[in-house]
Amino acid sequence: MKITSVLVTGGAGFIGANLVRMLLKRDCKVTVFDNFSTGRYAYLEGLPVDIVEGDVLDRDLLIEVIRSHQSIIHLAAQTGVPGSLLDPYHDCEANVVGTLNVLEACRAAAKDSSATKMSQKIVFASSNAPLGRQIPPAAEDKAPLPVSPYGASKLAAEAYCLAYYGSWGLNTIVLRFGNVYGPFSEHKGSVVAEFFKAICNNNVITMHGDGAQTRDFVYVADLCRAVLLALDCNEAGEVFQIATGVETSINRLIEMVRDVSGRDTSIYKAPTRHGDVRKNYSMIVKAREMLGWEPEVDLDLGLRKTYEWFVKKT
């Protein structure tokens, strides 16, 4: 079935801004649902999208908006470990209750004769944080061991997505994103964005810990293709790791951003942050086999594309 109408919660944020553009290229009717607490109107300027300013904690508004869409991509969230440590209650409310409200709105829409019934596809944006202390590579069949409130809230939201498939047949798919980077990330606290902001503003790079910790960096355009494949596929009630399978240390990342920018920016070594995992990269066999997805942009090229965008914004 060709997807023609998509609601993107959190569509004015980093991933949303990239995803909305990709959806429009497919001639989809796109509605962005965002409270603009971190998202930016400027990211959507000039785009032929409908914008609903609202919060995923507003269940009644969600029911009203969701009923007219074939597919829902749920990106809206509290999106990081530091924020979850500062306010675990808000983290839970945004990530767990917000996701539950989206699912309940979809279930309510399915009961309505004017809605699209259970054919609605719901793609939920999760992360590797639920796996926490697991020895990498991260894989869908490993038991979650979250070490931060953020990981716990994303795990609970994943569980609700799978439970609504099991109990009521909602067509949910969970995508566990690696460390996403790319254009439209200037407002994010992610490591690539922070490094490039520091370089562009002639500040020092702040590195937490000894730099030996590792991550799996996935370029945002590759990730958005995975989301579209999840929308199109016939699978439901599944979890997929969306990353590259390549482990990169923060020390190596610093070398690469210095090379890309041509600047030998100084480093400030800050203490290790609570809730951060030591090593993290993913096994992506399931996404390859079931979604037909393969990352195309390697880290060097992706960093160059990202740096070009940051330079233009500075």
Q: Which pLDDT tens digit goes with each residue over 91-106?
A: 999 999 999 999 999 9
CATH of the domain at 61: 3.40.50.720
More confident residue, 110 or 303: 303
pLDDT at position 116: 44
Average pLDDT for residues 243-251, to the nearest whole number? 98
Quick one: which of 97, 116, 120, 110 has its CA closest to 173?
120
* 128 in any annotated domain: yes
Mean predicted lDDT score pLDDT of the chain: 95
In a domain, 25, yes or no: yes
Q: What is the mean pLDDT of residues 235-261?
A: 97
pLDDT of residue 115: 46
- The answer to whether residue 124 sits within a structural domain is yes
Residue with tokens 């980077």: 181
Contact 110, 118 (CB under 8 A): yes
What phi, psi does 32 have (nearest 5°)? -100, 125
Residue 203, domain member (yes or no): no
More confident of the two residues 273 and 305: 305
Contacts of 227 (CB under 8 A, 6+ apart): 19, 73, 123, 125, 175
Q: What is the pLDDT of residue 282?
A: 96
Mean pLDDT of 142-158: 97
pLDDT at 201: 94
Q: What is the C-alpha to C-alpha distance for residues 162 and 172, in angstroms, rounded to an integer?
A: 7
Q: Is the pLDDT of residue 7 over 90?
A: yes
Average pLDDT rounded to a whole number, residues 155-160: 99
| pLDDT (mean) for 39-48 | 97
State percent of the chain over pLDDT 70: 97
Cβ contact 19:8 at 8 Å: yes
Q: Which of 138-142, 240-244, 288-292 has the lowest mean pLDDT?
A: 138-142
Cβ–Cβ under 8 Å, residues 7 and 69 = yes
Domain membership of residue 17 (yes or no) is yes
**What is the maximum span of the chain, computed from C-alpha positions, in angstroms?**
62
Q: Is the pLDDT of residue 279 over 60?
A: yes
Instruction: Report yes or no on whether pTM surpasses 0.85.
Output: yes
> Are the C-beta atoms of 14 and 219 separated by less than 8 Å?
no
Under 8 Å between Cβ of 10 and 34: yes
Q: Is 281 a catalytic residue?
A: no
Q: Which residues span the domain enclosing 134?
A: 5-183+217-245+282-296
Q: Residue 150: inside a domain, yes or no? A: yes
Is residue 86 one of the residues assigned to a domain? yes
Q: Three-state SS across the chain?
A: CCCCEEEEECCCCHHHHHHHHHHHHCCCEEEEEECCCCCCHHHHCCCCCEEEECCCCCHHHHHHHHCCCCEEEECCCCCCHHHHHHCHHHHHHHHHHHHHHHHHHHHHHHHCCCCCHHHCEEEEEEECHHHCCCCCCECCCCCCCCCCHHHHHHHHHHHHHHHHHHHHCCEEEEEEECEEECCCCCCCCCHHHHHHHHHHCCCCEEEECCCCCEECEEEHHHHHHHHHHHHHCCCCCEEEEECCCCCEEHHHHHHHHHHHHCCCCCEEEECCCCCCCCCCCECCHHHHHHHCCCCCCCHHHHHHHHHHHHHHHC
Question: Which residue is catalytic, options 43, 150, 160, 164?
Answer: 150
Q: What's the domain count of the chain?
A: 1
Asked if the structure places residue 256 within a domain, the reply is no
Question: What are the CB-based long-range contacts (under 8 Å, 24+) for 157-164?
Answer: 157/95, 157/96, 157/99, 157/100, 157/124, 157/126, 158/124, 158/126, 158/130, 158/239, 160/96, 160/99, 160/100, 160/103, 161/99, 161/103, 161/122, 161/124, 162/237, 162/239, 164/103, 164/106, 164/107
Average pLDDT over residues 289-308: 98
Identify the pLDDT of residue 117: 44
pLDDT digits (tens, 9 = 90+) for 181-211: 999 999 998 999 999 999 999 999 999 999 9
